[in-house]
Structure 1
Amino acid sequence: MKLLLATQNRGKIEEISRMLRHLNIELIKPEEEIEVEESGKSFMENAYLKALAYFKRYGIPTLADDSGLVVPSLEGYPGIYSSRFYSLDWGGKEEVQNSKDQANIKKLLRLLEGSKDRRAYFKAVICLMLSEEFYIFAEGVCHGEIAESPRGSAGFGYDPIFKPLGYEKTIAELPPEEKDDLSHRGKAIRKLSHFIEKCKHSIFYQRAHSN
């Protein structure tokens, strides 16, 4: 069985591959990135748009993820704009010096400077598309708060400044297996894994993976 991962993000590919390694599935990385206009107004809509674009291009079952960090005290930003938060006029643009991830973090910390409400949560929505007519979603949420400064070298994105609920360490300070257990993407992938396990022997599923 083959499953295309609709992303060129190395961090996501490593995480998803690690989480699905117990299944008898051949994970395919796309040969080239497809420019997908993320015009949706939610993580679910954008996950669907990504899955559809890659499915149309490669013609095999596709898994797409859309995820981000939500900070209630910042009106829900970065939210669906998490990957390009630095470039938004809202809150003032941040210059990219070393990486986009660092620019996003710098902007977020600047906007939260002096704030006592540092609550935040990561949200991930996974779309598994077996055909243009048959697709499912799985969602995961991880609650926590924003640290005062970046810590840790593991992970990617906002991981160095996000402390999961009940933790003093940031996500970027945790070993991969521990991160998978509590992360938003880990929760969504586990839900998806249960679905795959249950339907692996269905006629439709076998047809969808016959290529």
Structure 2
Amino acid sequence: MQLVFATNNLNKLKEVQAILPQHIKLLSLKEIACDEDIPETQPTIEGNAIQKAEYLKKHYGYDCFADDTGLEVEALNGAPGVFSARYAGPQRNAEDNTNKLLEELKDKPNRNAQFKTVIALHLNGKLHTFTGICKGEITTKKHGEGGFGYDPVFKAEGYKKTFAEISLEEKNKIGHRGKAVAQLLSFLNHL
């Protein structure tokens, strides 16, 4: 089986490739000569994932899946949410986004948050969605060198280390994207 993963984020690609079995060949956007920005204009994480998968299927014809991920912080009424990648501005800079988040939470005792990933799969003319959620909290400062995005400030429930301090394998087991990909795999394995 061959699927296109609708992302230009090499970190996401690496995370998902580490989970997929060898019989599923994952193609990147680069490999199908898609170098355009796929629209993400929906007001929800699920809406963006669906929009990207439908765009890719319509314009390139491949069976594919797309994901969208957001960090939802309780004290910020769910922000940054759908705007997680652009929280500090259109430059999409992870360091700026993380710094803005820490600043916004500076005086807030409630640091509860969750990462949410929705995967939209376009396969054989049908659309399916899978959602992974990882609950946790935002730390008061950055810890760790691994991961990407908000990983240095997100600590999963029951863990003492941030996502940036644990291995990719461990993150894939407990994290939002790993959970959504596990649902995707379970679905594909039952076809």
TM-score range, shorter chain: over 0.9
- Give the corresponding residue for 1:151: 143
User: Identity percentage over the alignment?
Assistant: 39
Residues 1:3 and 2:6 aligned together: no
Q: Which residue of 1 aligns with 2:18?
A: 18
Matches within 5 A, 1:7-156: 7-20=7-20, 22-31=21-30, 32-87=34-89, 100-131=93-124, 133-156=125-148
Q: What is the total number of aligned residue pairs between the two structures?
A: 188
Q: CA deviation at 1:35?
A: 2.0
Which residue identity does 1:25 align to in structure 2? I
SS of the aligned residue for 1:152 comes to: coil
- Asked if 2 retains the 8 angstrom alpha-carbon contact of 1:86 and 1:104, the reply is yes
TM-score by length of 2: 0.94
What's the counterpart of residue 163 of structure 1? Answer: 155
Question: Secondary structure in 2 aligned to 1:34?
Answer: coil
- 1:55 Cα offset (Å): 1.7
Q: Residues 89-122 of structure 1, C-alpha deviation per residue, up to 9 Å, x if partnerless? A: xxxxxxx7xx700000000000000211000000
**Inter-partner Cα distance in structure 2 for 1:58 and 1:15:** 24
Partners of 1:59 and 1:2 in 2: CA distance: 12
Instruction: Tell me by how many angstroms 1:23 deviates.
Output: 4.5
2:42 maps to amino acid: G
For residues 171 and 137 of structure 1, the distance between their equivalents in structure 2, rounded to whole angstroms, comes to: 25
* Aligned partner letter, 1:26: K
Does structure 2 conserve the Cα–Cα contact (< 8 Å) formed by 1:146 and 1:161?
yes
Alpha-carbon separation, structure 2, partners of 1:52 and 1:34: 15
**d(CA) in 2 for partners of 1:126, 1:33:** 21
Structure 1 range deviating more: 34-43 or 172-181 = 34-43
CA contact (8 A) 1:34 1:53 kept: no
Q: Equivalents in 2 of 1:186, 1:33: separation in Å?
A: 26
Unaligned runs of 5+ in 2: none
Name the Cα RMSD after superposition.
1.4
Tell me, yes or no, if the aligned pair for 1:62 and 1:128 is still in contact at 8 Å. Answer: yes
Cα deviation for residue 34 of structure 1 reads 2.8
Find the aligned partners of 1:33 and 1:138 in 2 and give their Cα distance: 26
- Whichever residue aligns with residue 72 of structure 1, its letter is E
Query: Is the 1:7–1:33 Cα contact (8 Å) retained in structure 2?
Result: no
In 2, the alpha carbon distance for the partners of 1:155 and 1:58 equals 31
Residue matched to 1:191: 183
8 Å CA contact 1:66–1:125 kept in 2: the answer is yes
